[in-house]
Structure 1
Amino acid sequence: MADEHPDADPGAALRAQFRGPLPPSVTALPAAAALDLAEAMRAARRRQARHLTDATEDSLRQLPRLLRPLVRRAIGL
C-alpha cells in the first residue's frame, strides 16, 4: 500500500531532509514536486557523505602507515 511507504507524506519526507521547520515556499509545493525535492536532497546528502569519506581516506593516505590506525581511532573512524 502506498500509505505505508515512509515517503507517502511529502511533508514528513521533507521535514526529515530539512531537519527543521519547512519554509512556506516548500510547504506550498505540490505533492509530486515535494517528493522529488525530498529525494534530490537525500541523494545530495548521500553524495556529500561519500565525498567526505573519500576526502578523509585521501588525507589518511598522506600519513605514515604506522600512524593511520592511531589517527583513525583518535578521529572516531
Structure 2
Amino acid sequence: MSDAAAQLRDTLRAPLPAAFDQLGDADLTELDRLLHAAMTHRAATLDNAIGTSLDFVPRLMRPAVKKALGL
C-alpha cells in the first residue's frame, strides 16, 4: 500500500474499497485533500450553527446550556 493510500485510509478511518487500487497516488492525494477540506468546512458550519442556536437561549441560561453541551 502506498503512502497516499495509507493516508487516505487513516483519514477515512476504514479500509479502502478494492476499486481504489486502480487510482494513482495523485488521485488518492487529491481525494484525501478534498476530504480534509470537507471535514474542515463541516466543522466550521457546525460551530456556526451551534453559535447561532445559542442566540435563541435566554442569556442567563447560556452558561448552563454550554456546560450541558460540553462547550
Whether these two folds match at TM > 0.5 is yes
* CA–CA distance in structure 1, aligned partners of residues 13 and 30 of structure 2: 17
**2:29 aligned residue:** 35
SS in 2 for 1:67: helix
Asked if 1:45 corresponds to 2:42, the answer is no
CA RMSD of aligned residues (A): 1.3
5+ unaligned residues in a row in structure 2: which ranges? Answer: none
Deviations 1:55-74 (A, max 9, x none): 11111111111111110000
* CA–CA distance in structure 2, aligned partners of residues 16 and 46 of structure 1: 16
Shift of 1:28: 2.1
Asked if 1:75 corresponds to 2:48, the answer is no
Asked if 1:62 corresponds to 2:56, the answer is yes
Count of residues in correspondence between the two structures: 70
Give the TM-score normalised by the residue count of structure 2: 0.90
Deviations 1:35-69 (A, max 9, x none): 00000000000000000110111111111111111
* CA–CA distance in structure 1, aligned partners of residues 56 and 23 of structure 2: 46
Give the TM-score normalised by the residue count of structure 1: 0.84
